[in-house]
Amino acid sequence: MLTRAAGLVAAFIAGLALVVAAVLVVRHLTAPSKPELPVIPESRRPALEAAARVCAPLSVPLLAAQIDAESGWRPHADSGHAQGISQFAPVTWKEWGQDGDGDGKADVWEPRDAIPSQARYMCHLYDVVKAVPGSETSVGATRLALAAYNAGPNAVLRARGIPKILETEEYVDKIMKDLLPKYRKSEEKYRTSEAKRTGRASASPSVPSSASPSTDPSAPASGDSPAATRQP
């Protein structure tokens, strides 16, 4: 009798263990996977790292997040109003486009031209928004510069802040709250990997100083749409 009872207990325990294991497997399979960090295309890295040195507020993660929001890294992106990887409007490109690859031509469709032009224009916008309330902090200045890139500097100056334009508000928030933190983590991972590969610490142009507006992860930014360079 004892042997039979022991067998029943063992069978019950084995069955229970199988049920628990099945539950754990199902939970693992149905649990939301951790989103992967975005990766800067290697072909764009040299231009991006050079562009991040154009002025102090810029960093590789900030410019990368902005490009991601503007074009998703597509060199031939065309919204009908803005063009290229950095989404310049023709009128803005005419003023700010520069020859970055040394071929004697400023081509909005060439990332090696567009990315340094984006950086140069952003540096200008940082200067423009200094007159706008909220620019006193690095985070505020970055938000305003991004808003000016999306809606145009005149719109930011008229609004004395981020204009009440849904596209612009979403553009700033997408960059500052979503993309920028992810690109910061991605760059940290990349730099750690590079340091291990080369056997030495990597002094990275993508690691901004504490004074940089792009270094505060709490800063919101706006959304999705690359309209900034569309309005001068």
DSSP per-residue codes, 58-70: --HHHHHHHHHHH
Dihedral angle of Cα 126, 40, 208, 135, to the nearest 10 degrees: 30
Token code pair at residue 185 = 């983590």
In the prediction, which pLDDT does 190 show? 95
What is the C-alpha separation between 12 and 22, in angstroms, rounded? 15
CA count, 13 A, side-chain hemisphere, 143: 25
Q: Which residues of the chain have pLDDT under 70?
A: 1-35, 200-232
In the prediction, which pLDDT does 60 show? 98
Token code pair at residue 67 = 């490009």
Residue range 160-194, pLDDT digits in tens? 999 999 999 999 999 999 999 999 999 999 999 99
Token code pair at residue 160 = 């004395």
